[in-house]
Structure 1
């Protein structure tokens, strides 16, 4: 099964662009559903206002995922009146969408994970106090770690820990890849000058 990291960014755009990030995410989620592609949100950087995001990082699973989402890569133009600034003349807002192959960065291998167990604190009765059900997973090459105490089952916590650790690993890798390509779209003026791969219209509320 193929994997693909999808990042949506407002660059240095105003709050309207941060709102467009949320709207574009909705469109991409719908696109994934129609194509029967599994999609997880692995990181969201919230904006100053409710419902806005400076960036969103998604992880797609499925066969031929890059072909499915290739049409989204680049500058997205959204045409709408500002819901935040009344009488504002500008109606064109731009965000950037980048696609990253997780394999282009450090490779994820569950065999690189070392698990530690410990007693889980908090409520739950004698089982929680006496049995080491909490699980901490450490990805040795990167040093990334995750601790899970969700259930009383050490096995279930271990499975959850591995899943969350992989998601966190991919989020870190995506951030590093994004830094390498930052010059392509971080400056918002560059986003506006680029040819939009998609032009969308719709209320931003």
Structure 2
């Protein structure tokens, strides 16, 4: 970088040099710098070609309009906070928005500096066209600067892509046994615990909300609240049908059975998000059933909350305390209503939701866990991992999650290009 800067300013100096002897001096001095520049450029271009997507001219034009709008807005906000007569509310809002724009503005400023460097190099190349080695060195520098410009444009494009505000939230995990009887319930338990272990490796808080056990102590249904930062954005593509192929513990002849469980990932929400009204809720209490001992069966600790406008009902009996069961039920109800509203808004705005990686519909088979072959295959991105035991321990799940998030980003770029 220092060598490139030295070359740029050396070439810039040519604009004010009229004596041929000065040009000849710089011409001979540049041979070592030229060799270094060529080697550096080769490495940089190799890296850029592998990691940066190619942006079309039309896409760059659209993005440039967005960048100009951001720059204009940044100037307006700076003017507001620099005005003595600005009210505390205006100052606070402007300052908050400026902080949000800071990352984009840093990239934009880098891009503008690089674009000025490119224009300067083009101009200077025209002035020293009679000096081949100097021209070659300037051309190499220009190529390197253009590659850097493309890298910055790619980063800025990523920052401009549509974002889901829910990505930053925690989530509600729901796992239900599907086809396969007791084996499906046992696999539902395995999947539920896989996400629990994965959450532990990430340092997330995993709180069991409710579990309904089967006769073999598998899970007919299970739900949990996973709290932390950027959890929904990382787990949202786990929604769907997870299929298992293995020999069930109930199978005496050793035949491989195929079973399935459904997984749903819902963004956490609260009563402020949904503006729940007390008159819209019917809360019933009753005695808990199932395991839990005498206490669970002799007190009205279980809670059922019905959202009257939608008819949606949530029942929780996991805790002995009626108050805690009510809090958990409200958390799950808010998440379900929030997801319904989000889906309605997304569907009314565009078809982007259906164009992304799967619909998140629970009827869609997204992944197969084949125990005899020791492999896990994600059917959306076509990736197979051959360490199924590690996967069930909550390890290596990022292999699929990262691939799905990358595919989402590529789809968003394609959508951004086509819609603009």
TM-score range, shorter chain: 0.5 to 0.7
Larger relative contact order (CA 8 Å, sep ≥ 6): 1
Where does residue 232 of structure 2 map in the other structure?
Answer: 66
Higher strand share: 1
Say if 1:201 and 1:78 are closer, same or farther in 2 by CA, change over 3 A.
farther
Are 1:171 and 2:339 counterparts? no
Say if 1:174 and 1:57 are closer, same or farther in 2 by CA, change over 3 A.
farther
Instruction: Name the SS of the counterpart of 2:250 in structure 1.
Output: coil
Structure-to-structure mapping, 1:135-174, within 5 angstroms: 141-144=280-283, 163-172=324-333
Are 1:55 and 2:221 counterparts? yes
Are 1:28 and 2:195 counterparts? yes
Query: Distance between the aligned counterparts of 2:334 and 2:199, measured in 1?
Result: 22
Query: Distance between the aligned counterparts of 2:229 and 2:257, measured in 1?
Result: 37
Gaps of 5+ in 1: 114-138, 149-159
Q: Structure 1 length normalisation: TM-score?
A: 0.59
Where does residue 100 of structure 1 map in the other structure?
Answer: 266
Are 1:196 and 2:367 counterparts? yes
Query: Distance between the aligned counterparts of 1:142 and 1:56, measured in 2?
Result: 23
Kindly state the Cα deviation for residue 3 of structure 1 after the two structures are TM-superposed: 2.7
Query: Distance between the aligned counterparts of 2:190 and 2:231, measured in 1?
Result: 21
Cα displacement string for residues 133-182 of structure 1 (whole angstroms, at most 9, x for unaligned residues)? xxxxxx6642336799xxxxxxxxxxx87654321212345677999x9x
Query: Distance between the aligned counterparts of 1:77 and 1:201, measured in 2?
Result: 13
Where does residue 11 of structure 1 map in the other structure?
Answer: 178
Where does residue 250 of structure 2 map in the other structure?
Answer: 84
Where does residue 46 of structure 1 map in the other structure?
Answer: 213
Equivalent pair of 1:35/1:68 in contact (CA under 8 Å): no
Higher helix share: 2
Gaps of 5+ in 2: 1-167, 287-298, 300-320, 344-360, 370-375, 377-386, 393-420
Kindly state the Cα deviation for residue 88 of structure 1 after the two structures are TM-superposed: 4.9
Kindly state the Cα deviation for residue 45 of structure 1 after the two structures are TM-superposed: 1.8
Where does residue 2 of structure 1 map in the other structure?
Answer: 169
* CA RMSD, Structure 1 to Structure 2 (Å): 3.9
Report which of the two structures shows the higher radius of gyration computed on alpha carbons.
2
Equivalent pair of 2:267/2:339 in contact (CA under 8 Å): no
* Worse-matched range after superposition: 10-19 or 28-37: 10-19
Say if 1:56 and 1:174 are closer, same or farther in 2 by CA, change over 3 A.
farther
Kindly state the Cα deviation for residue 25 of structure 1 after the two structures are TM-superposed: 1.1
Say if 1:55 and 1:178 are closer, same or farther in 2 by CA, change over 3 A.
farther
Equivalent pair of 2:246/2:257 in contact (CA under 8 Å): yes
Instruction: Name the SS of the counterpart of 2:170 in structure 1.
Output: strand
Equivalent pair of 1:77/1:94 in contact (CA under 8 Å): yes
Instruction: Name the SS of the counterpart of 2:224 in structure 1.
Output: strand
